[in-house]
Amino acid sequence: MATKTTLSSTLLTLFFTLALLGCSNGEPPADAYGNFEVDEITISAKVGGELLQFDVQEGVRLDSGAVVAVIDTTDLHLQRAEILAGLASTAAEAQTVAAQLQVAENDVARLEKDAARITALFRDRAATQKQLDDVTSALESARRSLAVLRTRYPAIQAQADAVRARSEQLEQRLRDAVVRNPVGGVVLTTFAEAREITAPGRPLYAIADLDRLYLKAFVSGDQLSQIKLGQQVTVISDAGKGALQEHPGTISWISDVAEFTPKNIQTRDERVALVYAIKVRVANDGALKIGMPGEVRWSAAP
């Protein structure tokens, strides 16, 4: 089970310092500031039991489909054996009723012929009333037996279908006991250890695709008219030793709800301003890290 969350990060540190840094390099000032974040996926157990195997370490890259955990399935195998026995019993009962149905249908067909023959003989006064009554009674009894069997067979079939459905559910639980990593990425955090007892829905680890990060930044209401979804922008990050590095980015989300500027803005006036959050998707060449501050620029130099 996988639940998607957004990694919280510290936003907008040293607003004026970054702005001055951009200007000092001869670059136009940034239009927005923020921090790099990532979409984090929490992988959870779908069945409960002892973690017989748990091969996950923080910082390790995992491929999609890789087996990362194996949960003890002893109880599930015992349940499967019980269900399979019940399915075999139900199938045998269904076969028995089917055979009885065939016999009953043959008896009814035979007695219908006998009843027709005796009725014709009775009209010709070649058969007695008792013979007619006996064959009529036997035919009615056979028809009642056939009707009972015909009501039993669908019930047995329904019972067999229910047992098969339980068996399929159990097989799925057995498959879920082998936990496979659903997406390629780097393990951020682990929440379990081998030999621990886990439960359905309990988180095992968190993973994220670090090849694609996004810069979460904030813009003023006046800037909203300058941006749109899918717009190509320039993202700037610190390359170390006072140097800056540019990355192409795409605006992937624009909030439609205004909020107060986060508290870590340096001036009181800026902190009480209403702003809109945006996300800029950026391909990561390895230089970008979660939580690193960055800038967004879409305006041309004045």
The domain spanning residue 184 has which CATH number? 2.40.50.100
Say yes or no: 199 and 57 in one domain. Answer: yes
What is the structure's pLDDT at 27? 61
- pTM of the full structure: 0.64
Same domain, 184 and 68: yes
Q: Note whether residue 43 is domain-resident.
A: no
* 134 and 80 inside one domain: yes
Which parts of the chain fold into alpha helices (H)?
15-24, 74-123, 129-176, 268-271
265 pLDDT above the threshold of 60: no
Q: Does a structural domain hold residue 16? A: yes
Average pLDDT over the chain reads 84
The residue to which tokens 């968190």 are assigned: 206
Is residue 16 predicted with pLDDT exceeding 90? no
Average pLDDT over residues 181-196: 94
Asked if residue 220 and residue 192 are part of one domain, the reply reads: no
- Residues 165 and 88 occupy one common structural domain: yes
Q: Any idea which residue has 């008792």 for tokens?
A: 130
pLDDT at 50 over 60: yes
Instruction: Flag whether pLDDT at 65 surpasses 50.
Output: yes
> Do 68 and 79 fall into the same domain?
no
Does residue 7 have a pLDDT over 70? no
Structural tokens at position 285: 């060449």
- What domain count does the chain have? 3
Q: What is the pLDDT of residue 178?
A: 95
Label residue 243 by pLDDT band (50, 70, 90): confident
Same domain for 160 and 222, yes or no, is no
Read off the tokens for 159: 């019972």
Average pLDDT of the residues in 246-263: 85
Assess if residue 228 is contained within a domain. yes
Q: Does 257 lie in the same domain as 223? A: yes
Q: What is the rounded CA–CA span in Å between residue 101 and residue 147?
A: 9
Q: Would you state the pLDDT for residue 261?
A: 67
Q: Give the torsion through C-alpha atoms of 185, 190, 192, 194, to 10 deg.
A: 60
- Token pair in block for residue 133: 């009554």
> The domain that contains 252 carries what CATH number?
2.40.30.170
Are 99 and 146 contained in the same domain?
yes
Distance of alpha carbon 68 from alpha carbon 70, whole angstroms:
7
Q: Which domain holds residue 284?
A: 2-38+210-297
The fraction of the chain above a pLDDT of 90, given in percent, is 46
Q: Does position 23 have pLDDT exceeding 80, yes or no?
A: no
- Residue 45 lies inside a defined structural domain of this protein: no
- The one-character DSSP state at 79 is H
pLDDT at res. 30: 85
Q: What is the mean pLDDT of residues 208-232?
A: 91
Residues 277, 214, single domain; the answer is yes
Domain co-membership, 106 together with 229: no
pLDDT above 60: residue 34: yes
Same domain, 187 and 160: no
- More confident call, 164 vs 28: 164
The answer to whether position 44 is within a domain reads no
Q: What is the model's pLDDT at position 154?
A: 84
Burial call 41-59: b when 16+ CB within 10 Å, e when fewer: bbbbbbbbbebeebebeee
